[in-house]
Amino acid sequence: MTTATRQEVLGLYRRIFRLARKWQAASGQMEDTIKEKQYILNEARMLFRKNKSLTDSNMIKQCVDECTARIEIGLHYQIPYPRPIHLPPMGLSPLQGRRLQRQEKLRKLSKPVYLKSHEEIS
């Protein structure tokens, strides 16, 4: 990791913690605000620890882009949770063979940048 990349990643980490400190829930209720702040902090810690051993510059760039997108979307919509994606159901093709593989590949490619870290969860 280059020095510039390291500074960019650390800057994002600090930006997330500043954001969590100032976060206010859209509902205005204190318990919602506390839950959302805790979610932001836990999610940031988990994802940064998961990706701390990355050395490929393209993967690091992809993670930085995802982080930036999630910050901007969270600020815009006033929700810290990832926005759901709506893809067409896979029920039209048989559950075997090349059609299923092609559909799974298309679903993976159509996943937005802000949900790339949730591939193993969803």
pLDDT digits (tens, 9 = 90+) for 32-85: 999 999 999 999 999 999 999 999 999 999 899 999 989 998 999 898 987 766
> How many whole angstroms separate alpha carbon 60 and alpha carbon 52?
9
Number of domains in the chain: 2
User: pLDDT-based confidence at 105, cuts 50/70/90?
Assistant: confident
Domain identity same for 92 and 45:
no
> How many whole angstroms separate alpha carbon 14 and alpha carbon 19?
9
| Domain extent at residue 106 | 85-114
**Residue 119 within a domain:** no
pTM value is 0.74
The answer, yes or no, to whether residue 118 has pLDDT greater than 90, is: no
Q: What is the pLDDT of residue 122?
A: 40
pLDDT digits (tens, 9 = 90+) for 14-27: 999 999 999 999 99
Domain identity same for 75 and 95:
no
